[in-house]
Amino acid sequence: MLTKAIGALTMPLLLSLPPETAHRATIAALKYAPFLPKTASPPGLAVSAFGLDFPNPIGMAAGFDKNAEVAGPLLALGFGFVEVGTLTPRRQSGNPQPRLFRLPRDGALINRMGFNNDGYEAARARLAARPAAGIVGVNFGPNRDAVDRVADVALGVKTFAPAASYFAVNVSSPNTPGLRDLQQRAAFDELVARVAEAREQAAPGRPLLVKIAPDLDLRGLDDVVEVCARRGVDGLIVANTTIARPESLEGRDNGEAGGLSGRPLFESSTRMLARAYLRCGGALTLIGCGGVEDAETALAKIEAGATLVQVYTGLVYRGPALIGEILDGLARAVERRGPLVALTGSRAREWAANP
Ligand SMILES: Cc1cc2nc3c(=O)[nH]c(=O)nc-3n(C[C@H](O)[C@H](O)[C@H](O)COP(=O)(O)O)c2cc1C
């Protein structure tokens, strides 16, 4: 109730500010607002995945809390988990501004932030200082000018071993030149082998996930699934932003370079999720991400094969009330149709067959 009221008051103001200013203001408000209302997870939404117990399956996607500043407040708002990052070993400023664009009529964003972040050490210290409650995954990737990209990623495992509930390796941002090439079979196999070895040394058994691009073709998806299953990766996050530009986009900034997120990403990322689900045969746990903006789209991700679901762009347009709305809608679905685990993948074949 209070979350709804706060959202109703603040969202028009935030959406009238330039997008990056609005984002900075939101992070500051979350950081310094002790009055934040707490949202409890409705009963029946608890989920177990890769050895962790989530109070509900809805998570904050990477890129919102890049520097691990507000994981606690985001959990208090009702998220079942938070993924911080993407972090790189050394601080970097990212691409020149403007680099974040709203396409309100499309319910979409285009960003080419370019991994602007404070670096591993600052985030490690912040995570070490926070209370241990709640599931916080850490997403990391290489610096733009890395000499050895795989070493940058392996260092992430070592650095965040004391603090991360799970590790998420980002090989799918379109805004670091050449990064997505790490998804190609030989490079990907080497990356995953070295990261899995780092995990064995620094944090045996800690869940290791890989976040993939929605633009992979089916052969690329086959390769990713095969390598991950063989090398003991626990899960995939499907998916990051897309470099595709559907013709239907109406926003003035639809020609900006970068990754497109939100409503126009929903269909393609859900189809890819279903295809990943059918290929995994249960060997990998899937997090569905892309275009979730209400309870129906969250449920669709679960039916397509997701055990957990992440949101970013929907929150930008709908505000914090979206979290409670999704949780209530899922709770009603569970009452009507049975536990979430039974719904996972129930419509994967239909989604995978979508042209
Ligand atoms: C402004 C912005 C910054 C992002 N930064 C990252 C990032 O640093 N690392 C990452 O893995 N994904 C990043 N993402 C991608 C999101 O985590 C998510 O995969 C994508 O936006 C699709 O979800 P959505 O449609 O709910 O936004 C970013 C997205 C946006 C909109």
* pLDDT tier, 34 (very low <50, low <70, confident <90, very high otherwise): low
* pLDDT tier, 52 (very low <50, low <70, confident <90, very high otherwise): very high
Rounded distance between C-alpha atoms, residue 243 and residue 309, angstroms: 21
Q: Which residues of 157-172 are buried (b: 16+ CB within 10 A; e: fewer)?
A: bebbbebbbbbbbbbb
Distances (CA, A) of 282 to 224, 234, 344: 15, 10, 11
pLDDT tops 90 at residue 168: yes
Which of 58, 71, 25 is closest to 292 using CA atoms? 58
Name the residue at shortest CA distance from atom 29 of ligand 1. Answer: 63
Probe residue for ligand 1, chosen from 103, 242, 256, 261 as the CB with the greatest number of ligand atoms within 8 Å: 261
Q: How do 100-103 and 108-111 pair as beta strands? A: antiparallel
Distance 276 CA to ligand 1 centre (A): 19
pLDDT tops 80 at residue 158: yes
pLDDT score recorded for residue 35? 64
Average pLDDT in the 258-285 region? 96
Chain centre to alpha carbon of residue 55: 17
The alpha carbon dihedral of 202, 208, 213, 216 has a sign of positive
Q: Is residue 172 annotated as a catalytic residue, yes or no?
A: no
Name the residue at shortest CA distance from atom 4 of ligand 1. Answer: 63
From the list 41, 165, 172, 173, the catalytic residue is 173
Report residue 151: phi and psi, to 5°: -65, -40
> Which residues face 260 on adjacent strands?
110, 242
pLDDT tops 90 at residue 4: no
pLDDT score recorded for residue 314? 97
Name the residue at shortest CA distance from atom 6 of ligand 1. Answer: 63
* pLDDT tier, 1 (very low <50, low <70, confident <90, very high otherwise): low
Q: Which residue has the tokens 């932003």?
A: 241
C-alpha angle 216-222-228 in degrees, rounded to nearest 5: 100
* pLDDT tier, 183 (very low <50, low <70, confident <90, very high otherwise): confident
Atom of ligand 1 nearest to the CA of 262: 25
* pLDDT tier, 85 (very low <50, low <70, confident <90, very high otherwise): very high
Average pLDDT in the 327-349 region? 97
Pocket of ligand 1 (CB under 6 A): 61-63, 66, 85-86, 100, 109, 111, 113, 139, 170, 173, 211, 240-241, 261-262, 265, 289-292, 311-314
Distance 100 CA to ligand 1 centre (A): 11
Using an 8 Å Cβ cutoff, are 331 and 45 in contact? Answer: yes
Which of 208, 268, 274 is closest to 241 using CA atoms? 268
